[in-house]
Amino acid sequence: MNRKMTTTVFSKRMNKINLSFLLFLTVTGYFVNPAMGQLQGAWASTDGIESRTIIFTATNFSCAVYQVNNKKFVGTYGGSYRVEGTSILETQEFNTFNSSLIAVVSKSEFHLNGDKLIISNNGKEISFSRVDSGMPGKLAGAWLITGRMVDGKVSSITPGARRTMKILSGTRFQWIAYNIETKEFFGTGGGVYETTENQYTEKIDFFSRDGNRVGATLAFDFSIESGRWHHSGLSSKGDPINEYWSLRETIGF
């Protein structure tokens, strides 16, 4: 085989390898839109009265609007999303402002400029500043509750239409309880968190059920066991909590 033919055969083989590798990345989910990576983390905006926090994971998001000084929860929405060019395509699972948007794909435009994010929707623009990029928290991601400890045994919970999700960036968290079929909203809360050793500590910035809980700091024990987050301690009401959470991606949500 002459040198020219050898080069041609080698090039064809490399093209096949590259194509196979790209296909592998796409199928396994490793091939990610770069803009989605840039969105991941927490973003905040305020007009001096209302604060707005958005948390983006690789596949899910939540947005909460609240008044810190008045300890007032205003509203929240979120679900799954994907990025196409400069568009964010959202499939909302909960929305206290407009429940008719639940399960409907809605579109917003966005522009990134360093640590500034501008989101445009229906002619309205909101500018956000980056809070974090998903670091340094050990629990960044979107989690669904999948178990509770009852009488010394773990009672499994299979997520369905009725869900409790906890979504975390590197420093911010929000939990939301809702039903995607009936479009019911049961409650939410969120704020700032940190992890040190085996302790998870959160400070509440908003709580839909009781504004008097805003400002409280709660500490819990946590561990990652076989990919699940084991979370135990006392709630803001003093009730015992002993829960297991799973990342949505690992259970097909």
Q: What is the dihedral sign for C-alpha 97, 100, 106, 109?
A: negative
Mean pLDDT of 136-165: 90
Assess whether 53 and 82 both reside in one domain.
Answer: yes
Q: What is the pTM of this model?
A: 0.84
Q: Is 38 buried (19+), middle (13-18) or exposed (0-12) by CB count in 10 A?
A: middle
Q: Is 125 exposed, middle or buried (0-12, 13-18, 19+ CB in 10 A)?
A: exposed
Same-domain check for residues 97 and 164: no
State whether 6 and 58 are in the same domain: no
The answer on pLDDT for 180 being more than 80 is: yes
CATH number at residue 169: 2.40.128.490
Rounded to an integer, what distance in angstroms lies between the CA atom of residue 220 and that of residue 214? 17
Is residue 77 over pLDDT 50?
yes
**Domain of 212, in residue numbers:** 141-251
Q: What are the tens digits of pLDDT across the range 186-207?
A: 999 999 999 998 999 999 999 9
Domain shared by 149 and 207, yes or no: yes
C-alpha Rg value of the chain to the nearest Å: 21
> Do 147 and 246 fall into the same domain?
yes
For residue 115, the domain's CATH number is 2.40.128.280
Query: What confidence tier does 1 reach under pLDDT thresholds 50, 70, 90?
Result: low
Q: What tokens appear for 126 in the block?
A: 């909101």
Domain match, 39 and 26 both: no
Same domain, yes or no: 149 and 217: yes
Is 80's pLDDT higher than 60?
Answer: yes
- Per residue in 147-161, pLDDT tens? 998 888 888 998 899
Could you give the CA distance from residue 114 to residue 108 in angstroms, rounded to a whole number?
19
Per-residue pLDDT averaged across 40-68, rounded? 96
Mean pLDDT of 208-231: 94
Could you say which of 93, 113, 132 is where a domain stops? Answer: 132
Q: Which two tokens stand for residue 201?
A: 């500590």
* pLDDT value at residue 22: 36
Report whether pLDDT(210) > 90: yes
Is the model's pLDDT at 27 over the cut of 80?
no
25 and 38 belong to one structural domain:
no
**What is the arithmetic mean of pLDDT over 72-90?**
97
**16 and 74 part of one domain:** no
The Cβ of residue 219 has, within 10 Å, a number of other Cβ atoms equal to: 12
Number of domains within the chain: 3
pLDDT of residue 194: 95
Of the candidates 90, 92, 85, the one whose C-alpha atom is nearest the C-alpha of residue 108 is 90
Mean residue pLDDT of the chain comes to: 87
pLDDT of residue 216: 94
Please give the Cα distance from 154 to 180 (Å, whole number).
25
